């Protein structure tokens, strides 16, 4: 038997051309208001959407449509219009920008069926592409094409389609935060906020009011009402980073929020409904924390509904080179004009390295290497992954060896001290004046302005 397809019908106004319409193989799912769209699209796996608007203001529809298009994902939208509607500029521009097709009334079932079939095919194609394993990046942020990362992409798409809590595990620097952002961006909540809470970074005395907010006068110093981070995530995603660091008392409050979807601001007696999808992340073993009594077991089961593991970089065969080239290309070209790639030995060394600090370590090593490098190719040594011999660089004389060692030490001292000459001089056990002289002698710039300062660069 042919599987019935579902088309989502949005009809604005009193009349609708879809009443009593029978289309072989199609089931029309009616949305009574735009808020229901995401739920209906997911529940009925709608691939096609039909919009009819009886004598309405197309300008108003156009304003709301950005949100509708986002929450309805890969649905192919068809505007079903009256003949005269096409004279409306707003409608013409809306269709051109955001619709798959338009259909002018009256409906001829045979022809309409064909249009629906075509729209369905396109939606399936788009959906297939969104799920295609081996895709190199999601929204140009998570880069990689290894098997391990393709599996992660597939998982991200899967969990994005649900509204259940997600627990992301992964070593430090693997991309847990990026993964959360991708889940949010591909979920029906994409147009809502994605609020990040670093549970380990907020002082314990402040954490309850940061998370749950407070009323004016709730405690000394509470001069104004404050909306907490959970409430701020209403309609979107709440990202609880390093959830293992939450004090036990706050864990109890959080559990209540997850169970009841309500919060109570400090100093308030009334409950507030908050609709936020929870994504938590940890780099520690939460099961062990539960066994040690540091993490509530009931909360663990509440948040660990959909576990997602971000693989360590050493398990992503082939990604290291892609990522390294990418991070090199993000550097200010004026600063690293002389560098145009990595030596073969450098690529081998990067592939062999264990990357305990994962992608963050790779970013730092590549950025540092690009600045320190003296040749056109980044070497094993520039990356700090080997010695001169392993990259085949010959040192011809003791003087040259001394000069190279001197240059290297100076560059590293500058990098380690954030390019503060006085600190670098101290680190090297020399005076500022001598260091300035050596900088000039070796033609080393003392100020690498324009370098991306992200994530502890050169740390
Ligand atoms: N696959 C990737 N493609 C591109 N950039 C990445 C990728 N994975 C991580 N990064 C970058 O690496 C850095 C670390 O990533 P992120 O902050 O998401 O890691 P994390 O797992 O949250 O780390 P931590 O445990 O230290 O909080 C960020 O600058 C991020 O943009
Ligand atoms: Mg993080």
**DSSP secondary structure letters along 197-214:** EETTTS-HHHHHHHHH-B
Cβ 142 under 6 angstroms from ligand 1: yes
Going by alpha carbons, the residue nearest to atom 2 of ligand 1 is 142
Q: Would you state the pLDDT for residue 450?
A: 32
Q: Which pLDDT does position 129 carry in this prediction?
A: 52
Report the distance separating Cα 421 and Cα 442, nearest Å: 15
137-309 and 395-459: identical CATH topology: no
pLDDT of residue 138: 59
Encode the chain (459 residues) as per-residue pLDDT tens digits. Answer: 456 788 888 887 778 888 888 888 888 888 877 777 767 776 777 889 999 888 778 888 877 776 677 667 678 899 999 888 888 888 888 888 778 899 999 988 888 988 998 988 888 776 655 444 444 455 558 999 899 999 999 999 899 989 999 999 999 999 999 999 999 988 888 888 999 999 989 998 899 999 999 998 888 888 888 999 999 999 999 999 999 999 999 999 999 999 999 999 999 999 999 999 999 999 889 999 999 999 999 999 999 999 999 999 999 988 999 999 989 888 876 677 778 889 999 999 999 999 999 999 999 999 999 988 888 899 998 999 875 444 445 556 777 778 878 887 887 788 777 778 888 899 899 999 999 999 888 878 776 543 333 333 222
Q: Which of 240, 228, 168, 248 is nearest to 201 (CA)?
A: 240
CATH of 313-388, one of 1.10.3720.10, 1.10.8.60, 1.10.10.410, 3.40.50.620: 1.10.8.60
Question: In sequence order, what are the beta bridge partners of 140?
Answer: none
170 lines ligand 1 (CB under 6 A): yes
203: its two tokens: 């002082």
144 prior amide bond cis, ω within 30: no
- Over the stretch 207-223, which tens digit does the pLDDT of each residue have? 999 999 999 888 888 88
According to the model, what pLDDT value does residue 131 have? 44
Q: How far apart are CA 266 and CA 219, in angstroms?
A: 8
Query: What is the per-residue pLDDT across 323-340, written as a single tens digit (0 to 9) for each?
Result: 999 898 888 766 777 788
Segments making up each domain of the chain, as ranges: 5-130, 137-309, 313-388, 395-459
**What pTM does this model have?**
0.62
Element (H, E) at 334: none
Taking the centre of ligand 1 as the mean of its atom positions, its distance from the CA of residue 149, in whole angstroms, is 13
CA of 178 to the centre of ligand 1 (A): 6
* Cβ neighbour number for residue 105 with a 10 Å cutoff: 13
The class (CATH top level) of 137-309 is alpha beta
- φ, ψ of residue 416 to 5 degrees: the values are -70, -25
CATH number (3.30.70, 1.10.3210, 1.10.10, 1.20.144) of 395-459 reads 1.10.10
Instruction: Give the span between the Cα atoms of 310 and 177, in whole angstroms.
Output: 10
Contact of 184 with 194, CB cutoff 8 Å: yes
Q: Is 92 in the pocket of ligand 1 (CB under 6 A)?
A: no
Q: How many residues does the chain have?
A: 459
Spatial distance between the Cα atoms of 240 and 210, rounded to a whole number of angstroms: 12
Phi/psi-derived region of residue 437, left when phi > 0, alpha when psi is between -120 and 50, beta in every other case:
alpha
Which of 171, 175, 281, 457 to probe ligand 1 with, by most ligand atoms within 8 A of CB?
175
Top mutation candidate among 153, 172, 173 for ligand 1, by most atoms within 8 Å of CB = 173
Helix (H, G, I), strand (E, B) or coil at 100: coil
Span from the CA of 321 to the centroid of ligand 1 (angstroms): 16
Region 5-130: CATH code: 3.40.50.2300
The answer to whether the CB of 345 falls within 8 A of the CB of 378 is no
Q: Residue 241 CA: which ligand 1 atom is closest?
A: 27
If you search the block for the tokens 């009443």, which residue do you land on?
Answer: 19
Write the CB contacts of 112 (distance below 8 Å, at least 6 apart in sequence): 23, 103
**Count of C-beta atoms within a 10 Å radius of residue 83:** 9
Q: Locate tokens 């991200």: which residue?
A: 156
Strands (DSSP E) found in 237-393: 237-241, 262-263, 272-273, 277-282, 306-309, 341-342, 377-378
Mutate to test the pocket of ligand 1, among 199, 245, 359 (most ligand atoms within 8 A of CB): 359
Ligand 1 proximity of 17 Cβ (cutoff 6 Å): no
Of 56, 249, 278, 321, the closest CA to residue 187 belongs to: 278
Q: Which of the 8 DSSP states describes residue 267? A: T
């Amino acid at each position: 038997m042919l599987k019935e397809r579902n088309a989502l019908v949005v009809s604005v106004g009193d009349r609708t051309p879809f009443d009593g319409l029978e289309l072989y193989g199609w089931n029309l799912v009616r949305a009574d208001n735009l808020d229901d769209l995401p739920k209906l699209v997911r529940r009925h796996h709608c691939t096609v959407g039909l919009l009819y608007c009886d004598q309405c203001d197309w300008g108003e529809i156009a304003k709301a449509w950005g949100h509708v298009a986002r929450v309805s994902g890969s649905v192919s939208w068809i505007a079903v219009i009256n003949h005269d509607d096409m004279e409306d500029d707003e409608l013409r521009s809306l269709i051109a920008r955001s619709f798959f097709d338009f259909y002018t009334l009256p409906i001829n079932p045979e022809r309409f069926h064909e249009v629906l079939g075509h729209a369905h095919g396109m939606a399936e194609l788009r959906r297939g592409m969104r799920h295609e394993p081996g895709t190199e990046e999601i929204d140009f942020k998570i880069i990689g094409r290894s098997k391990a990362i393709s599996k992660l992409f597939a998982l991200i798409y899967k969990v994005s389609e649900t509204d259940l809590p997600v627990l992301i595990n992964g070593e430090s620097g693997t991309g847990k935060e990026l993964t959360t952002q991708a889940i949010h961006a591909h979920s029906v909540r994409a147009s809502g906020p994605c609020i990040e809470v670093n549970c380990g970074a907020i002082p314990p005395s402040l954490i309850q009011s940061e998370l749950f907010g407070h009323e004016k006068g709730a405690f000394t110093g509470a001069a104004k009402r404050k909306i907490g981070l959970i409430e701020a995530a209403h309609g979107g995603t709440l990202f609880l980073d390093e959830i293992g660091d939450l004090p036990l008392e706050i864990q109890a409050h959080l559990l209540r929020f997850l169970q009841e979807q309500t919060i109570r601001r400090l100093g308030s007696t009334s409950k507030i409904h908050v609709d936020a999808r929870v994504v938590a992340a940890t780099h520690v073993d939460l099961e062990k924390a539960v066994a040690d009594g540091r993490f509530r077991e009931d909360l663990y089961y509440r948040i660990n509904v959909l576990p997602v593991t971000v693989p360590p970089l050493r398990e992503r065969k082939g990604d290291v080179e892609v990522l390294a080239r990418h991070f090199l290309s993000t550097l200010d070209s004026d600063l690293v004009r002389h560098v145009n790639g990595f030596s073969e030995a450098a690529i081998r060394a990067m592939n062999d390295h264990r990357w305990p600090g994962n992608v963050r370590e790779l970013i730092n090593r590549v950025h540092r290497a690009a600045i320190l490098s003296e040749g056109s190719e980044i070497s094993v040594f520039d990356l700090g992954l080997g010695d001169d011999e392993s990259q085949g660089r010959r040192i011809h004389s003791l003087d040259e060896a001394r000069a190279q060692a001197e240059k290297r030490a100076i560059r590293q001292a500058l990098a380690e001290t954030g390019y503060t000459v006085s600190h670098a001089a101290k680190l090297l056990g020399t005076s500022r004046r001598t260091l300035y002289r050596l900088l000039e002698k070796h033609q080393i710039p003392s100020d690498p302005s324009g370098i991306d300062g992200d994530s502890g660069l050169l740390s």
